[in-house]
Structure 1
Amino acid sequence: MQKIEKITLSTNFPIGPVNVYLLYGKKITLIDAGVKTKQAWKELNEGLHKMGLTIFEIEQIVITHHHDDHIGLLEWILEIISVPVYAHKNTQTYLQDEDYMYWSHIFFKNLLYEFGLSNKAAREWSFLKSKRELLTNLRVTKELKEGDVIPNLPEWRIIETQGHSQDHISLYCAKDRILICGDHVIDDIHVGLFLDAPFPGEKRAKPLLQYINNLKKCLSFPVEITYSGHGTDIYDLESIVNAQLRRTEKRATRLKNTLSKGEKTGLDIIKDMYPDRYENLIVTFVLEITSLLDLLIERNEVIAKKRNGIYLYRLIE
């Protein structure tokens, strides 16, 4: 049986604490790196100490995806120790490429305007969405893709699980039927879907369609225990996946009920569905509604047309 240790670190995010893991293979491997705060750094070192380890015993790092609560302490760790970092092929671009950050700002400005925001609001929110602290000392040693064996962990393979992000990977050990899934599946929490700007010249992803397909893909593997990026361990993956799918259908039905009142912009939909919450969480809701609209358009339940540069959506009768 694979030896796995979990350390839970505080975050300042609404989702609460984040879980990082130590795998004991040919080399001691840290999975994810928490949020970049002094409290999380203290908790990581205390957690290692309880296991009889220090930062210096970590021999390699695997990142499930690039979100701040999973990569935050990576820079501090790499300032102390020089170890290989393994991640999806997109991760380094998302964390280090200034040109991509600039392009991301342009992409989201256009997306938000087409969704119904004013030029001013689209510009301001897109800047906040694309702004991040770049990790100047990050070098992904090896890019991981579907089916890859993780270096020095010969029994672990990569499953690409895009949806929550476009660089999301999970780790699977067939021998012991263990899945380490980052934020792909979380018990009793609706998993947020975040839209990453496509690379220039490429079409944007449809994260909800990816997410649904990758949830079902994970069910094709025999899994007895799933270690998640947040919350408790999962011992019945199928029931949790089915709960996520039901939540998605419930939201899709709610969106269709909104459109039953007539043709609307994306912003109109958000105002109707979240009248008391949308102003402070506008980008979050834009990404959620965009993903739901992708799903309903794919199912031929909703049609979109552009008028004066802004998309209008209506039900197909």
Structure 2
Amino acid sequence: MRHGRILVTGGSGFLGQRLAHRLLARGLRVRVMDLPGALPATQGPADPALQWQAGDVRRAEDVRAALAGCDGVAHLAGLLTPACLADPVRGAEVNLIGTLQVFEAARAQGLDRVVYASTAGVYGPEPGHPLPVTHYGAFKLAAEGAARASWHAHGLASVGLRPYVVYGPERAQGVSAGPSLACCAAALGQPCTIGYTGAAGLVYVDDVARAFEHALLDAPARGAQVFNLAGTVHTVDEVIAEIRRQVPGARLDAAGPPLGIAPDIGEDGLDAWFPDRPRTTLADGIAATLAHYRNQGAHP
């Protein structure tokens, strides 16, 4: 697939942009599909290997048009927990029906796999088997079931990745954006309240993007695989303490309930599937995020 093209749905988002840049660096062409309002108004001096295409994953014709001529797909488009809570029907349309549209288009085009974003939110507050307590987690768990059905019915392989709290530069959406927003506020000298409390697994955005790259390009296409990307468990107090260590006097606090996901969900099978995967420490991830926002503040 060295000279192929990869479709990234939801590719204008926080994770999608990181993944697109990694794929371009591998010498691939990338087509980003997202809603019109999420795409840049003008491409400017964009990389000629990068295409932007407006579309809605709920519409079969949009997905088929975006996937035409592509050799692989990373399906990242979705609505997060607050949006699914506010409008569960639309959340199901995007997160479940949209995923089915991608699988059907990939099967029709003869792709060997679909790589898609699930979530640690498929777990509930008690450790063990997936038992979501949010609409978002429920829709993602149903999408994982649909992926298994596509494998058993049609032989279409897939890899679903379940990130926990993904943090890093430009993360702004969702309840778990708190650590990233706190870094931004600290770097710019502003106060911030992280919107959840308790412990959760944190994983730096580049580590997540690398896992999606591995699933697309390096791992064999085999079965309907799903892996947790749990990162390292930290309490919100530990996150605040690390930011204050690097930015003394940062005006940060936290309020709100825990995320409703068991803190330590484990990463069974991940090391065997992805040997030598990157593991950015919390200190290094926060340092990189702070540096990004300091540069942004200096050069708006």
Same fold flag (TM > 0.5): no
Structure of larger gyration radius: 1
How high is the TM-score relative to the length of structure 2? 0.29
The structure with the largest helix share of the pair is: 2
When normalised by structure 1's length, the TM-score is 0.28
Structure with larger RCO (C-alpha < 8 A, sep 6+): 2
